[in-house]
Structure 1
Amino acid sequence: MISRLNVVMVAVCLGGWMTSFVAAQSANQSQSGTQQIPQDFSAVDTSHLMQSPDPVPLEKERIFPNLKFQRPVEVTSPEDGTNRLFVVEQEGTIRVFEYRDDVENAELFLDLHDVTLRKGNEEGLLGLAFHPKFQENGQFFVYYSTQPRTSVVSRFTVSKDNPNQADRQSEEIVFKLDQPFSNHNGGSIRFGPDGYLYVGLGDGGDAHDPFANGQNLETLLGSILRIDVDRKDKGRGYAIPQDNPFVEREDARGEIWAYGLRNPWRISFDRENGDLWTGDVGQNRFEEVNRIVKGGNYGWNKREGMHSFEPQSPAKETELIDPLAEYFRNEGISVTGGVVYRGPTLKEYDGAYFYADYVSGNVWDLRADGNTTTSNRRVAETGLQISAFGEDQNGEMLLCSFDGHLYRLTKRDIDFKAAKKNFPQKLSETGLFDSVAKNIPAQGVIPYELNMPFWSDYTVKDRYVALPKDKSVVYHERDQWEFPVGTVFVKTFWMHQDRAQLEDPRRLETRLLVHSPDGWQGYTYVYHDDQSEATLLEGSALKPLPIKTAEGSFEQRYYFPSRSDCMACHTKEAGFVLGLNSRQMNHPLDYHGQRENQLAMLNRLNVFTQPLSNNAEEIERFPEWQFGNLDRSNDPQHVESALETPQGETTALARAWLDVNCAVCHRPDGIAPGKRHLQFHADLAKMNLLNQQPLQGQMTPPGGTVVKPGQPYLSELLIRAAHRGVRQMPPLASNVADPRGIEVLRKWIEQMEQPTE
């Protein structure tokens, strides 16, 4: 039955780079005795990898070190001369504090958590705007989600007795809007220079805009609204300005200022010229930045970015407005709209629009002359989950991050030309190999393997780690280990051209995960056809691979990830280093005729800050998955070369597979919606899987849930893991589903019993 879930290979054309894939002799020519399990620790000089091949001019600086917030989605200040900042927490609270770096406490200004709906990742308390006459009338407005699934804009006033506390009883609902789904809530509200309130609304959610709200002027969804909150029309909590673009149309809502938006995440006005900007989150391919004009149609769901959303039915309407910037998913996953910089510190950036990607942490500055973009540069690599930009009352730019802290951007003290020139452009220049052509690592580079390798479209991996001088690894028996600055992980991907016999493995790429002084960075080196060298990849690439199976031959499209792709998974919340933990490393390393448990090996090499207190037999381990590690044992019968369904206890195999392939995002404080918890030790009842409704669309038939115990084909978890395309899991860098993993998940769900009440 699992054949019904077989993958349709996704062909994606990334313009610019495509090479032929020709047969060549395997480069795995290392001889027994030239590679050995190390007997003593030897530090590796990784200093030439500590800079960046694309140095950026700005870096993050944490501010207010004594404060921490829960999922901050807004930082702003009223123009009342009080030097205060207000931070909106998505769970339903607003906090206020004096704008000074040593402030120690953020007072609770407003608490709406009892009425705020936070079931979906994009629901909650999402927006705050102070009335232009706040200093006189004490009025402010908030946007929040509530039950039943509704978006609310309400007016509040400040307490008469305490300027740092809102009067909860003063709430006056301005408008309410039913939401069909949990995502695409928009939620940003801003007063324009004209004194009207602008409200950003998504298309209502789910994939593909199923109700076509983006192009429907008879609904408020998928639009930016412009309303007058100082007057009221009959039957409304607000008035519609008579110069709104669609006031006179019977087939349109008069509140709409602009439309054709999918999920405008953060809108802002240029405080100097009044221009309205937004980032609009894309679906599968393109994120975009728009400057909003009266009556503008920004194309969703006819277009995504500048491209037809459905290639088979291209959008040719000339009235659609192009974004001023777009980026493909190799640069990031979810755009965060920002602000036009008008602050006093970064003078050379005056007039530039800053925006970011929530997943990659990259920040860009954009300049435009009318409808023409004149520059669009990546200016910072923060590694943060940037949820919002804000301004203080002087126009200085601030950043909210889901690590709970606030940041600013500052200039880096770096010689940019020297840094770019000195970064290795070839793998042989990294110093990590004695011979790239023969795949012989340098002295001191430590080999390792994993019990449960991450699925990467049938590749097997050759892994090493290089540690710097006088540095040690902090060991944790359950949590991720901590690695010092200067650490470099080396992972070479091989593909068997003959998948029936698992013969003729061939190197495709070597990825480096580098712990530099600026944080963790990922780099991809792609091998030449003759396997003699690998070159640093700019951006991402797709390459066809000829594959032979028992059923015949075909071409498999293989994806080489960009640097942003790498860091989308190697996140702070996941500990950056994904594979090296005790459950993965408690594994016998078979290496060119030698064999040793890896925990015992690393303990013997004294790489840990403290010697291990337990023997390897006493430490938990994942079950051996039996595929995914390159066979370095010189044993033709080596078990890790097997493609058969792995042997072992089904629950342990399934939970380990989910931990490795899914829990990077689906974990406490992870970026995925729904609060799923797929880590190995999570209690099944607390994983938020059983009989839960799927988010962001449903692929199972009616009655399906995330996991339906005993019914795998009504379980969204299984269907999405087995699917490639929209809503596939994992979402990045894979064109082929894992058939062995799918079979294990199927058995696990099939054996599962419904929980009793």
Structure 2
Amino acid sequence: MDWLSADANNAAMRNNPWLIALVLLAQASLAASADAPFGLTSRTPWTTSKFHGQPEPPPPFRAERVYPDIQFTGPTVLTGAPGTKRWFVAERLGKIYSFPVEGSKAKPDLFLDCTELAKQLSEHEKQPIEFHALYGLTFDPRFEQNRFCYVCYVVHRRGGRPQDPDGTRVVRLKVSDTNPPRCEVASEKTIITWLEGGHNGGCLKFGRDGYLYISTGDGGEAFPPDGKNTGQDLSDLLSSILRIDVHPADSKRPYVIPGDNPFVSLDKARGENWAYGLRNPWKMSFDRLTGELWVGDVGWELWELIYRVRKGENYGWSLVEGRQSVHTEGIPGPTPVIPPTIDIPHTDGASVTGGYVYRGRQFPELYGIYIFGDWETRRIWGAKVEEQSVGQYRELVEPTVRIVDFAEDEQGELYLLDNDAGTIHVLARNEAKPTHLQFPRKLSDTGIFDSVAEHRVAPGVLPFSINAEQWSDYAVAQRYLALPEKTSIGLHSRAMLIPGKQGSRIMDFPAETVLTKTLSLDLIQGDPASRRRIETQVLHFDGIDWRGYSYEWNEQQTDAVLVAAEGKSRTWHVEDAQAPGGKRVQNWLFASRMDCIRCHNPWSEHTLAFNIAQLNRSHDFGSVTDNQIRTLKHIGVLVDVTDPPDPKDPTAQDGGPKPPEQLPRLADLRDGSANLDLRARAYLHVNCSHCHRFNGGGSAHIYLQHDLPLTKIKALDLRPIQGTFGIRDARILASADPYRSVLLFRLAKSGPGHMPHLGSKLVDHQGVSLIHDWIASLPGKPAESESAKLTQLANDTAAADRSAAIAELLSTPGHALRLAHAVRQRKLAEPNRQLAIEAALQQADLAIRDLFEPFVPEEQRTKRLGESIRPQEILAMTGDSSRGRQLFHESTVTQCRNCHRSEGKGGELGPDLSAIGKKLDRSKLLDSILQPSASIDPKYAGWLVETKAGTVITGLMVEKTDAAIVIKDMQNKQHRLATDEIEALFPQRKSLMPDLLLRDFTAAQVADLLAYLSSLK
């Protein structure tokens, strides 16, 4: 690249990460010549594995296939028809088949091809119309008399609008009185239509009242959420459950609106709406005993949702996603928001499929349990239904079926439709031998190691190395791959070459694959002789799911013991000459099993470190150093799967196997001479992108994969929606200006809002400096030149002068971030550096204090409960209400009284707590403090206002008119701002009550506070 100037070089590379990768790979000569020796010449099979099953008992049921000779392609609906004793299966691409319920050997008969309906519509309208998808099928309750069925399918009129306003269609068809039955295409009659889009809904069910109920989605894609702003809008048919009478007295009318529908008299409302505020309802059913309607609603970023739907209810989309605020600035519908009946976090599921309340007789223990599932994780759960409540959901069925629909037969027995295999299943008791008793509870029982004490792996277990190490609070890692016998990992060559491609399966792992990582700490930093193994993490693929486990090493370093499912923590004391006071106290967190899968999720391809971009490097195999991918292919660990190019995919590339120099590669973070862009992007990739990617679970909608161009990461020069920490003109990443970049602020601070959110707890000073320098190098208007105050502090100055300079730099979070960087880089004279740290720790602004706490010894930091609060331990303590009253009203530790009133005293920013004990017991009180954003009353939702003068105000919206707004800030001060003064106005998705509010408390103080609050009645 010597033909480019330095600036042009950096710009070209920034805009084309693949160019960087190829240049560096070529320079590094990663491709070995054909005659170079391989790192390994042969492979030893791994035969000692004892890693099978799970440590918990298996689910009580399994899915048993029925109709073994019948299979469908991409099925979406399974249903029956009155009086036929036949099943009907609809495929997404338009065909519907039927076969006898008792006909396990029968061949399915074609019932309807919906593409013929699209052709017929095209001929009628005399314009090209394309069939898109088939979503719904049901049969008239009077089917035996009128022979009617109803189908919901989607079409698109070519050359029309981007979305067809009448593209989602519910039609009625006549069914022949033959065996097998056939739909009469010419009999099609349009019943109702609405806008087609990514979220169409389309489930059709008749209620006990004889009316047809129809689900509709918001007509959009995942982002932006509710892009058509329709969730609370009753003037259209979107985001709703519709209820119509398809048996009108006037046969010329397709339907009439029942007179008792809730919104028939509401001005400008569509009377068809029965309930609303749904995002993407996928499958609904009526309880055959009670007649109640149950709906599964596919969530957005954090939750999957189940609703027991009732007349006129509002389920909140997109003001909320379940209980989580989304668009608090939106105009709510005419009825109050109802919380979900069941909410499933994205750690458990990712795409819910609504089910049925079981009313069969085969399994008495399931009677009255609502059974539902998740398309993505294949989990199937059940929750006991009571008259006014629903119990906690629990896993019922082994996760083998990608559940796309449930059905029940005439006896109320449940059937499951598998989207992937196109097969039909029933429930059966799980008679498989429980494996939890044999699951290895000690590392020495796993078969992974030949000698655990010597950390020597068993024959066939292969060590591997990676390019970019995740920050793990100074720990060093050793990694191993174990494949059973001589099985192989299939590489989908084309998928690995598509930059930023989501959902492209790159590696196919064999069942019983085990990936292992042992993390060790130097108890004297930099001295390998003091190194102790802390934790061995294991990822196990059982053929369906990846599951994560942690083993804690004992004091003798002879073995490690399986950590309980909820995780644990342990404190280590490290001598570190670079740490404040020469010592470092580490609270090591062993992740819960649920936290493991939050990072090792389907969207990040599960394995995180074992992928092409990480493995594409030289590795010391002992006697030979060779490119890792080249050697692993040579011994049959990696096997290329050639994917044919997809002509419809503009990103498709040649599907043939590629040599290492043509494959992706992450930069080595330890190589200071490597390209700054590559190292920074690699750092964000390994530390952040497992959450911050499409569907990764990160609540900030940013994409931080290393191979995406900067224009695609949705962070550059965009305003943050998760808080600004009071930084003026804040951006997630502000081009050329680190001190307006919230991403850098989060990396640099400790406490609430620190990132990465999971895994590490200590600030990575080298990583922060790397990202600081990278942001500063981005093209754009650079940050203000280095403050004269900092230049002044670089030299020893008079005490009065330096105190004033420090006070000025600590006056705003952005300037404080600049000062913290100077402290980190030791750019200040040492007396001034210490004075700056001491002054920062006295600041009232917690965010500023948190920037500087990493620079002082542990004993000088605020003594806190910390971030891993165990509620049951606190609830087991007996608090003192009088001490709690003093804590609430007088202590400087808690700021409760600044926002809440109690006994006639306190602020009015938040709800009055004078009678909170009547509403919430101690457990619910603690939960509301620990998770303040889980449920936010819209009238207490926060707003952020930035004025044209640069002032940033966060608080409650007291008043809003066309001319002005009034905001009440955290100090209960009201700010009246004329509309023309406002630069920007943003809703806050998180509660004004901060997360981890109790981290500064002792357990006894929390118990006292709970005792006081619960006494307020």
TM-score by length of 2: 0.51
Aligned with 1:176 (options 193, 200, 210):
193
Whole-Å separation in 2 of the counterparts to 1:456 and 1:188: 47
Q: Deviation string for 1:668-696 (max 9, x for gaps)?
A: xx99xxxxxxx99xxx9xx9x9x99x9xx
The one-letter code matched in structure 2 to 1:77 is: G
Q: 2:490 aligned with 1:445, yes or no?
A: no
Amino acid at match of 1:96: S
Unaligned runs of 5+ in 2: 1-6, 15-38, 123-131, 157-162, 495-505, 641-656, 698-704, 719-732, 736-740, 748-755, 778-1017
Deviations 1:397-428 (A, max 9, x none): 22233314224232211355xx3344345555
Q: 1:519 to 1:39 in 2, by over 3 A?
A: same
Query: Which residue number in structure 1 is paired with residue 399 of structure 2?
Result: 382
1:187 pairs with 2:214: no
The one of 123, 136, 161 aligned to 2:145: 136
CA contact (8 A) 2:296 2:355 kept: yes
Note the C-alpha offset of 1:210.
5.3
Residue 514, structure 1, aligned to residue 540, structure 2: yes
- Alpha-carbon distance in 1 for matches of 2:587, 2:74: 41
One-letter code of the match for 2:565? Answer: E
- In structure 2, the CA distance between the partners of 1:204 and 1:609, relative to structure 1 (3 Å rule), is closer
Deviation of 1:586 (Å): 6.7
Identity among equivalent pairs (%): 29
Report deviation, 1:111: 1.9
Q: Could you tell me which residue of structure 2 aligns to residue 326 of structure 1?
A: 343
One-letter amino acid of the counterpart of residue 146, structure 1: V
SS in 1 for 2:300: coil
Name the SS for the 1:249 alignment partner. Answer: coil
Pairing of 1:257-272 with structure 2 (within 5 A): 257-272=274-289
Q: Which amino acid aligns with 1:338?
A: G
Check the 8 A contact 1:187/1:201 in 2, yes or no. yes
Q: 2:74 aligns with which of 47, 71, 84?
A: 71
Shift, 1:459, TM fit: 9.4
Q: Is the 8 A contact 2:541 2:547 kept in 1?
A: no
Shift of 1:238: 1.4
CA deviation string 1:80-118 (max 9, x = no partner): 2242322242x333333344333444525222385799x
Q: CA deviation at 1:171?
A: 2.1
**1-structure distance, mates of 2:245, 2:412:** 25
Could you tell me how far apart the structure 1 residues matched to 2:43 and 2:349 are? 41
Which one-letter code corresponds to 2:546 in the other structure? Q
Give the Cα separation in 2 of the matches to 1:294 and 1:155: 24
1:95 has 2:97 as partner: yes
* Aligned twin of 2:625: 595
Larger Rg over CA atoms: 2
Deviation at 1:396? 3.1
> 1:142-541, aligned counterparts within 5 Å?
142-147=151-156, 148-150=163-165, 151-158=167-174, 160=176, 163-178=180-195, 182-205=197-220, 206-209=223-226, 213-231=230-248, 237-250=254-267, 252-309=269-326, 320-343=337-360, 345-408=362-425, 409-416=427-434, 419-425=435-441, 427=443, 429-433=445-449, 440-442=456-458, 444-449=460-465, 462-468=478-484, 470-473=485-488, 478=493, 484-492=510-518, 510-516=536-542, 519-525=544-550, 533=560, 535-536=562-563, 538=565
Higher relative CO (Cα under 8 Å, sequence separation at least 6) belongs to 1
Counterpart residue identity of residue 626, structure 1: A
Distance 1:590 1:294 in 2: 67
Q: Pick one of 622, 625, 635 that aligns with 2:663.
A: 622
- Tell me if 1:125 matches 2:134: yes
> How large is the Cα RMSD of the aligned pairs?
6.1
Cα pair distance change 1:485/1:251, threshold 3 Å:
closer
Q: CA deviation at 1:289?
A: 1.4
8 Å contact from structure 1 (residues 48, 422) kept in 2 = no
* Equivalent residue in structure 2 for 1:86, among 68, 75, 89: 89
Q: 1:422 to 1:626 in 2, by over 3 A?
A: same
Alpha carbons 1:331, 1:565 under 8 Å: kept: no
CA contact (8 A) 1:541 1:559 kept: yes
Q: CA deviation at 1:132?
A: 1.0
Does the 8 Å contact 1:264/1:281 carry over to 2? yes
Which has a greater percent of helix? 2
Alpha-carbon offset, residue 178 of structure 1: 3.0
Cα distance, 1:141 vs structure 2: 1.4
Provide structure 1 residue ranges, at least 5 long, that are not aligned to the other structure: 7-35, 118-122, 611-615, 628-639, 672-678, 702-711, 726-730, 748-757
Q: Which amino acid aligns with 1:641?
A: R
Listed one character per residue, the Cα deviations across residues 201-253 of structure 1 (whole Å, up to 9, x for unaligned) are 22343544356533344443222111101117899631111122333433643
Q: Taking structure 1 as reference, are residues 273 and 423 closer, same or farther at Cα in structure 2, changes over 3 Å only?
A: same
Q: Deviations over 1:257-312 (max 9, x none)?
A: 22232222211112233221011222222222111122223333444334555799
**Alpha-carbon distance change, 475 to 285 in structure 1, aligned in 2, over 3 angstroms:** closer
Contact 1:454 1:661 in 2 (8 A): no
Give the aligned residue type for 2:205. R
Specify whether residues 156 and 625 from structure 1 end up closer, same or farther in structure 2 by C-alpha distance, changes over 3 A only: same
Aligned residues between the structures: 645
- Is the Cα contact below 8 Å between 2:370 and 2:382 reproduced in 1? yes
Contact 1:331 1:564 (8 Å CA) reproduced:
no
The superposition leaves residues 631-672 of structure 1 with CA deviations (integer Å, 9 ceiling, x where unpaired) of xxxxxxxxx73366559999xx99xx99x989x9999xx99x
Q: Say which SS state the counterpart of residue 420 (structure 1) adopts.
A: coil
2:436 partner SS: helix
Change in Cα spacing, 1:527 to 1:84, as seen in structure 2 (3 Å) is same
Offset from partner CA, 1:160-180 (integer Å, 9 cap, x none)? 48654322232222122235x
Aligned AA (1:521): W
Contact kept? 1:521, 1:567, Cα under 8 Å? no
Q: Residues 222 and 619 (structure 1 numbering): CA distance in 2 closer, same or farther, change over 3 Å? A: closer
Whole-angstrom distance in 2 between the partners of 1:356 and 1:211: 28
Measure how far apart 1:492 and its partner are: 4.7
* Alpha-carbon separation, structure 2, partners of 1:496 and 1:168: 75
The 3 A distance-change label for structure 1 pair 410 and 319 is same
Opposite residue 115 of structure 2, the aligned amino acid is L
CA distance in 2, matches of 1:266, 1:374: 21
Distance 1:201 1:621, change over 3 A: same
Deviation (angstroms), 1:76: 1.1
Query: Would the aligned equivalents of 1:156 and 1:168 in 2 still touch at CA under 8 Å?
Result: no
Q: 1:537 to 1:330 in 2, by over 3 A?
A: farther
Q: Deviations over 1:499-557 (max 9, x none)?
A: 99xxx9998865433244x6443113175898965743636899999999x9x99x999
Change (3 A) 1:494 1:313: farther
| Structure-2 separation of matches of 1:101 and 1:307 | 46
CA distance in 2, matches of 1:361, 1:576: 15
More strand by share: 1
With normalisation by structure 1, the TM-score equals 0.66
Partner of 2:49: 46
Q: Distance in 1 between matches of 2:745 and 2:224?
A: 15
How far does the alpha carbon of each residue in 1:59-90 deviate from its partner, in whole angstroms, 9 at most, with x for none?
2334444444343221111122242322242x
Partners of 1:644 and 1:546 lie apart in 2 by 33
1:483 to partner: Cα distance? 5.4
* Contact kept in structure 2, 1:354 and 1:363, CA below 8 Å: yes
Confirm or deny: 8 A CA contact 1:344 1:396 kept in the other structure.
yes
- SS of 1:369 mapped into structure 2: coil
Which whole-Å CA distance do the structure 2 matches of 1:357 and 1:88 have between them? 19
